[in-house]
Amino acid sequence: MADYTNYTNKEMQAITLAKMLHDGQIAIVGTGLPLIGASVAKRVYAPNCNLVVESGLMDCSPIEVPRSVGDLRFMAHCGVQWPNIRFIGFETNEWLHDSDRMIGFIGGAQIDPYGNVNSTCIGEYNHPKTRFTGSGGANAIATFTNTVIMIQHEKRRFMQKIDYVTSPGWIDGPDGRAKLGLPANRGPQAVVTDLGVMKFDEKTKRMYLAGYYESSSPEEVIENTGFDIDVSRAVKLDAPDPEVIKMIREEIDPDQVFIKVPVPEAK
């Protein structure tokens, strides 16, 4: 018999993200864990939220997790199929009207204490050790929209200084965005990792540990972070509902494309 209490940190990560969405919000999602989290939110925690993707598909409600933002599984259950340029205008219009109903989920290879994200390259830009696909729509999302960042928690990813700023966070503190001419009333709200949830101090805009999982600890977060991080405000987060774990495994990602199910130990 399947055990839905034996959840993984990735499942916890997706559910933690899902709980950050509220009814009435518009969430910009991509594929992978952010989409799994958004799908859980749509089914359980915020049924009246709306999911949009940068390919121009609006009010999406996929039955099974799509592999890309152009996947037919997105298109079959969406309200509108706009061209990409309409999505960009919609995103900017939300900012121009000072609306707080939109939130974007982005990821990357590196992140610094102020939530600046690198998804461009590892090493020097013109001679990188590794070249990634780049921004896609993430730079515009991080510029005009509040964001939640999803990333695996490793010291090589959580760096004091990242190799390239693809998507702007709080830059270097509370005045960082304004100094560069970016919207000062937008920025990263949280970082959700496989070890916990980081938020940003209201005054300094520097990252701190807000919550950790049953399977992790503040000490593990410190050990896997490449800069000093405040853990004094951290609380242990509740374990997920087994019914939600069952939903992820049997309905949302049944082929284990993005989350692998633990193999039961042989007796």
Helix axes 9-18, 33-40, angle to 10 degrees: 50
Nearest-5° angle of CA 77, CA 191, CA 73?
15
> How would you label 19-58 residue by residue, b for 16+ Cβ within 10 Å and e otherwise?
bbbeeebbbbbbbbbbbbbbbbbbbebbeebbbbbbbbbb
Q: How far apart are the first and last CA of the chain?
A: 14
Catalytic residue among 11, 54, 91, 202: 54
**How far is residue 118's CA from residue 98's CA, in Å, rounded to a whole number?**
27
Q: Is 196:237 a contact under the CB 8 Å cutoff?
A: yes
**How far is residue 61's CA from residue 44's CA, in Å, rounded to a whole number?**
13
**How far is residue 220's CA from residue 120's CA, in Å, rounded to a whole number?**
27
Q: Please tell me whether residue 109 adopts helix, strand or coil conformation.
A: coil
Give catalytic status of residue 54 as yes or no. Answer: yes
Task: Please list the active-site residues.
Answer: 54
